[in-house]
Amino acid sequence: KVWISSYNQKESFENVLLGMDAIVVGGGNTLNMIAIWKAQGIDVVLKKALEKGIVLAGGSAGSLCWFNNGTTDSRPKELTVVEGLGFLPFSHSPHYHSEEYRRPLYHKNIESGIFKAGYAMDDYSGVIFKNGKPFKVVSTEVKYNSYFVSMKDGKLVEEKLVAEIIN
């Protein structure tokens, strides 16, 4: 846990986090989360964790944080762009199927060059990366999918990725 009182914290974030086998980040406000991580130096520790081979995972804000950038509801009124930690050199859109405005905005940001090509994921679906490259796509049901969205020959292409169904 990194949301603690400093008075009760007996070890550094580095000692705690680098002693883990996996670090799972939950959902929430991506913008605020990354700002706090940077203020506390946790972003640097997470990079060390990645280099050490510790599994980094999460959903929603906890998946968006690992990518270059993506769309977030971290600000009032509308979805906006948020910069991630850049551990994965792609853009990202979580909750791809659940809100009708996420997909068109993600497409628009890729078409306009605001985002590089990237991975869009429905809830209950995900992509496992190994050494910065997609390794396996998983989903809890066939109706939840992950996609690679890119520009090819001046046109937006949304490629549905074949997933292994896991329970």
Model's pTM, two decimal places? 0.93
95 is catalytic: yes
107 is catalytic: no
Strand partners, 70: 82, 92
Res. 10 pLDDT band, cuts 50 70 90: confident
Output the average pLDDT for the chain. 93
The answer, yes or no, to whether residue 9 has pLDDT greater than 80, is no
- Beta-carbon contacts of residue 54 (< 8 Å; ≥ 6 apart): 17, 18, 20, 21, 22, 23
- Choose the catalytic residue: 74, 93, 95, 146: 95
